[in-house]
Structure formats: structure tokens, C-alpha cells
Amino acid sequence: MSLQVKNLDYQIGGKSILEQICLEVQDGEFVGLVGPNGCGKSTLLKNIYRTYKPGRGTVFLNEKDVLDFSFKKMAGEMAVMAQENHVEFDFEVRDMVMFGRYAKKKFLQGDSAEDKKLCEKCLKEVGLSGYEHRSYLSLSGGEKQRVLLARVMMQESAFIVLDEPTNHLDVSYQYQIMDILKGQDVTVFSSIHDLNLAALYCDKIIFMYQGKIVDYGTPEQVLTRENLREYFRIEAQITKNTATGKQQIYYLPGWIKSGKKA
Amino acid sequence: MKGTVKSGKGRFLVTLLLVLLLIAAVLTISVTIGAVNVSAGDIGKILVNKISGKDIFRIAWEGKTENIIWNIRFPRVLMAFIVGAGLALCGVLMQALTKNPLADPYVLGISSGASAGAVCAILLGWFSFMGGYSVIFGATAGAAVSICLSLSIASIHGRITSTQLVLAGIATSALFSAFTNLMVYGINTGSDKAKMALYWMVGSLSGATWSKLRYVVVVGVVVIVVIFLFAKELDVLLLGDDVAETLGVDTRKMKLVIIVASTILTGVVVSVSGVIGFVGLVVPHIMRSFVGSGHRRLIPMAILGGGLFTMLTDLISRTIIAPSELPIGVVAAFFGAPFFLYLIRRGNMGKK
């Protein structure tokens, strides 16, 4: 499963949010999307999964315009974990996860025994075994996030789009979730807040700033002191983590340089 | 029970059984009580004779009694049931559409729209090309206009907040009630203006007949079957339109189904009962606390619960100040309005 975005522009209320975005995610890649708050990451992702309507001829899945997919076909190809939204009505955790199977079903087809098994497996992977009959709304933010991830896995799509999947999560779950995603035989495109996490897991990183893509490449190529200084406005020390073999970023607040204590 | 959703199968069956028993009890009481007292035994015999079409039991009662039971009380009780069932189902649909538990045909002003449409048909002779169905057609057309108006006022950038929803409902409701009053008082030449206005504002089931009941039941059953087919889609829709789309639900198609179904249902129900408020608000909320939000169980329970609620309010409306009758909408409001306040208090208005 591959994704191409060609010359995507997007405006909200006359204000340009995305300008001439071009990118490609190849089959089997794990691609991260990074950039400071408000740079347009979520807007770009929403254009890809069609919550916002991209222009014709801008977003392609396997070289087919996403606008030509029915919602059901699209959900079969692409699973989405958006940032948590407020829900007014309560469901059991199991129902919440089972909704991931919707796109695989024909009209009026019920849940099979395999679906139930898969549901158990997905909940186990996110560490929520035994939560099947818990109320979704009673869960903590991190638990909800993991339920939604289980639902994404339940979709069994070849392409997964995530918007900050490790928000709200304890540090151990951040790594566990990334491991789960990395372990699936799927293509992943995810916005990521934590740059060290991005360095550790991504094959490629897309760097956004003020609605434009400003850099693209491997973590080593993109996560540089110069980029961090220019776009995140923070000094950093970047070393190689001897245990992981990946970059390790240490942030250096301004007072270190000036010699004044905080 | 905190932390667990109450939606087990056992819980569903117990609730179902309980509601069915209550329906049977209220049905019996409603048919028995009235200006003419008839024993439950005689009523059973009349029923068996009528349904079988033969005189299985020897007729030991006056012909007038039989007429009251069969042609007045039975149609009225059954009408109460189907009206309540329809309004509760409309509530469920409006709530899935707006993702807001405060939505129902009365709160959104759709009932007022339907009642204005019905009055147009009666007093202005609109829709007379529909023959005997002109009132029901007028009510449905009124419902269609008001639902479009109300929803378009309520949504800002495609989202509907509780505050917007309630305000849009008040405005729509006020507008259509004013129309109804204008027509009743301005155009109506009959002497029973006040009575007629009251009927279309606060509802009554006193005009129920077998022939009216027949078409309401037919429409009701068709809509219920269609909606039940989409139970899974309705569940997913509760998660929000964006999420539902990424999970594969065609939300535009679903919204169309919901709007058409609830317009027809509200129109038909209002054309036979006038405006009865809050049923669609109270009943689905109570039923959710028993059987959860899943529509496969919620829809049948809302239908039965709505029927029970209206049968009960109708029974109260015609017994509490007997021999005169209190409009059923007044009784429903005594239950519903405090409940509405409670739902608002619970914090729905504050959020977002």
C-alpha cells in the first residue's frame, strides 16, 4: 500500500493551512510527520483520510484518487486513529473495538467467532485483556487511546494513519504501542510529537513548518541541530544512542548558553 | 456498577419482560377504567368475540358497552402506544443524528412544524389533491420544513452543540406555533377556536379510531423495519461523523435515511395526536441506562418504552380530573420538562 500527495493546498476560512504539499509513503515504510504546533500536521492527515475534502488529483492511495473510494472501501484499505474526540454516548470496550470490523462486513452481516477472537487478541496486544465489558467512557485517557489502537488493528488494513498516537500514554506504553505498530506488516504514516520516538522508529521523517514540507529523509538527515534550531527554536545536543544505534536528542534550554540558572 | 456498561443480554431480557408486563397491566387498566365501568372479564370476552368474528361468549352486556370498549377505548389505547413508540424512535434517531441526548422532535421544534402543516391542510385546504390523506401529508411536509430549518440553525461548521440545538429548537418551535395560532384564530370560522388550537398545541388522543390507527400502524411498522436494518450504522454514527466515515459508514446516506424516517414518523404521529412533547427525550435516555447505547437493543426497548410512557400519560390525562380530560401533552410535560432540566443540569450545556 502506498500513498502519494501531489501539490495539495488547503485553506480554512480563507487562511492557507497547507501549501503545495508533495510527499510519498512507499509500501511497508514507517513514516513520521514532525513539526511544531500549528504547522498543519493534523490538517494534512485529515486531508489524507478525507475528514477534510482534498482537491481532486491531490491525494492517491495505490495511485488511485482517494475521492474515488467509497467510505467502506477506503476503511478497508486505510485505518485511522485520529486524536481523541468527545463522545456523548457510552459503549462497552468490546463494542468499541468491534466497530473496527464494520468495513469488512456486508450489509446486516453479524459478528463471527473469528471476529471475537481477533478482538480478544487486539485487546491483549494493547494490554487491555479483561476490559471487554468495561465502559469506554469510564476509562482514563491512556486506556481510551489503547482501545482506539485496538480498533485500528481490528480493521486489518494495509495502511495505518495515526495522529499523535502516543499522546496521553505512560512512557512504557509509548514504546509498547510503537513496537506493536512496527511489528505489523503494514505501511504506517503517523504524526509524532516526541522526536526521540520518531528517531527510534521511523524509516523516513517528513518535517513540516508553517504549512510546508521543509525537509524529508532518514531520521539522521532530518533531525539535525540546524532544523531544530530553525523550526522548533531550541538548541539541542544530538548523539548516537549506543544501545539503540539511533539518534538521541538532548534539548538545551536557553539559560544553559547564557550561563544563568533557571 | 461503576465502570461497567449495563448492556448484557440478561439485563436486556429482564428489562424487556418487565416493560411487556407493565404494558399489559396499563392496557388492562386503561380499557377497564372510564365513565362506564366494565369488568375485565367482560372486556376479555368482547375482545375474543371481536377478534374471532364469532359470538364465542354469550353476549351478557349492553351493545353500548361493546361499542365503548371496542370502538373508543381500544383504538385509543393502541393509538397511545403507537404514538409513543413513534416519538421515542424519533428521539433515538435525532440523537444519533446530532450526537446529543437532548435532541427529540419536540425540543427541535419538528412537532410544531408538523402541527402547523396539519392545520394548513385542515383550515386552508392545502394538499387537497391528497384526498383523505391531506392532513397527514400536510403534517409530514411541515415536519420536513421544520427539520431542515432547525438543523441548519443548530449546526455551525457542521457541528451541533447543545446550546445551539436548544436555541434552534426554541426558535423553530415558536415560529411554527405562531403560524398555527394565526391560522386557528385568524382563519378558522368555527366557534371552537380555542379548543382546536389547544388540540394542536398540547395534543390529545380522544379522536382515535380504527381507521386512523390502521395507517399509523402501517407507516410505523415500515419505518421501524427500515431503521432496524441500519442499527449497526447508527451505533457507529454515535462516535461522531468523522470517526464513522473513517470506519466506513457513508454518513451522508445515513443522515438522509434518518431525516426522511424521522420526518415521516413525526408527521404521521402528529397528524393523529397533535403535539406531545418530551417522549423522545425521556424514554431513550431511561432505556439506555438499562440496555446500553447499542441500537439493536435500544430500538425495540425505546419503541416499547415509548408506547408504555404514552399509554400511562394518556391514562392519567383522562382520569386525573375526570369526568373532564387534561390534554395528554400537559401530563407528558409534567414528566418530561423536569427531566429535560435534569439532562441540561447534568452538564451537557457546559461542555464544548
Question: Which of A75, A108, A136 lies nearest to residue B246, judging by beta carbons?
Answer: A75
pLDDT at B37 over 50: yes
Most A CBs within 10 Å: which of B1, B160, B232, as the mutation test of the A interface?
Answer: B232
pLDDT band at B351 (very low <50, low <70, confident <90, very high): very low
Cell of B310: 404514552
pLDDT digits (tens, 9 = 90+) for B198-247: 788 888 888 888 988 998 999 999 999 999 999 999 999 999 989 999 99
Q: Give dist(CA A177, CA A185) in Å, integer.
A: 15
Name every chain B residue with its beta carbon within 8 A of the beta carbon of A101.
none
All domains of chain B, ordered by start, with CATH?
77-351 (1.10.3470.10)
Neighbours of B52 (CB within 10 A): 10
Q: Give dist(CA A28, CA B57) in Å, integer.
A: 79
ipTM for the complex shown: 0.90
Q: Give dist(CA B270, CA B104) in Å, integer.
A: 14
More confident site: B162 or B290:
B290
In this predicted structure, what is the pLDDT of residue B4?
A: 55
pLDDT digits (tens, 9 = 90+) for B99-130: 888 899 999 999 999 999 999 888 887 777 77
pLDDT digits (tens, 9 = 90+) for A42-97: 999 999 999 998 989 999 999 999 999 999 999 999 999 998 777 889 999 999 99
Q: What is the dihedral of CA A17, A23, A25, A29, to 10 degrees?
A: -90
Say if residue B172 is exposed, middle or buried (CB neighbours under 10 Å; 0-12, 13-18, 19+): buried
Neighbours of A133 (CB within 10 A): 15
pLDDT at A27 over 80: yes
Q: Give dist(CA A51, CA A45) in Å, integer.
A: 9
Contact (CB, 8 A) for B225 and B349: no
Residue A18 dihedral angles phi and psi, to the nearest 5°: -125, 135
Name every chain B residue with its beta carbon within 8 A of the beta carbon of A91.
5, 235, 238, 292-294
Q: Give dist(CA B31, CA A208) in Å, integer.
A: 72
Cell of B335: 414528566
Most A CBs within 10 Å: which of B161, B246, B255, B296, as the mutation test of the A interface?
Answer: B246
Residues 6+ apart with CB under 8 A from A37: none
Bond before B323 cis per omega within 30 degrees: yes
Question: Residue for cell digits 412533547?
Answer: B277
In this predicted structure, what is the pLDDT of residue B343?
A: 83
Contact B99 A89 (CB under 8 A): yes
Q: How far is B185 from chain A (nearest CA, A)?
A: 43
Q: How far is B293 from chain A (nearest CA, A)?
A: 6
| Nearest alpha-carbon partner for A192 in A205, A173, A180, A210 | A205
Q: Give dist(CA B279, CA A170) in Å, integer.
A: 45
Q: Give dist(CA A214, CA A56) in Å, integer.
A: 24
Model pTM? 0.90
Residue of B nearest to A49 (CA): B246
Does A86 touch chain B if contact means CB atoms closer than 8 Å?
yes
pLDDT band at A31 (very low <50, low <70, confident <90, very high): very high
pLDDT digits (tens, 9 = 90+) for A171-186: 988 998 899 899 888 9
In this predicted structure, what is the pLDDT of residue B6?
A: 53
Pairing of strands A159-163, A204-209: unpaired
Contact (CB, 8 A) for B306 and B22: no
Q: Give dist(CA B173, CA B154) in Å, integer.
A: 13
Residues 6+ apart with CB under 8 A from B184: B119, B123, B193, B196, B197, B200
In this predicted structure, what is the pLDDT of residue B65?
A: 82
Q: Measuring CA to CA, how many Å separate A25 from each of A56, A221, A237, B29?
A: 19, 17, 29, 70
In this predicted structure, what is the pLDDT of residue B47?
A: 83
Say if residue A205 is exposed, middle or buried (CB neighbours under 10 Å; 0-12, 13-18, 19+): buried
pLDDT at A232 over 80: yes
Q: Measuring CA to CA, how many Å separate A45 from each of A39, A54, A152, B204?
A: 12, 11, 16, 53
Sheet containing strand A212-217, edge to edge, reads A78-81, A159-163, A187-191, A30-34, A204-209, A212-217
Does B238 touch chain A if contact means CB atoms closer than 8 Å?
yes
Pairing of strands A159-163, A187-191: parallel
pLDDT digits (tens, 9 = 90+) for A112-152: 888 999 999 999 989 899 999 999 999 988 899 999 999 99
pLDDT at B346 over 60: yes
Name every chain B residue with its beta carbon within 8 A of the beta carbon of A128.
none
Average pLDDT over residues A2-18: 91
Contact (CB, 8 A) for A172 and A1: no
| The 3-state secondary structure of A182-243, one letter per residue | HHCCCEEEEECCCHHHHHHHCCEEEEEECCEEEEEECHHHHCCHHHHHHHHCCEEEEEECCC
Contact (CB, 8 A) for A218 and A31: no
Q: How far is A239 from chain B (nearest CA, A)?
A: 39
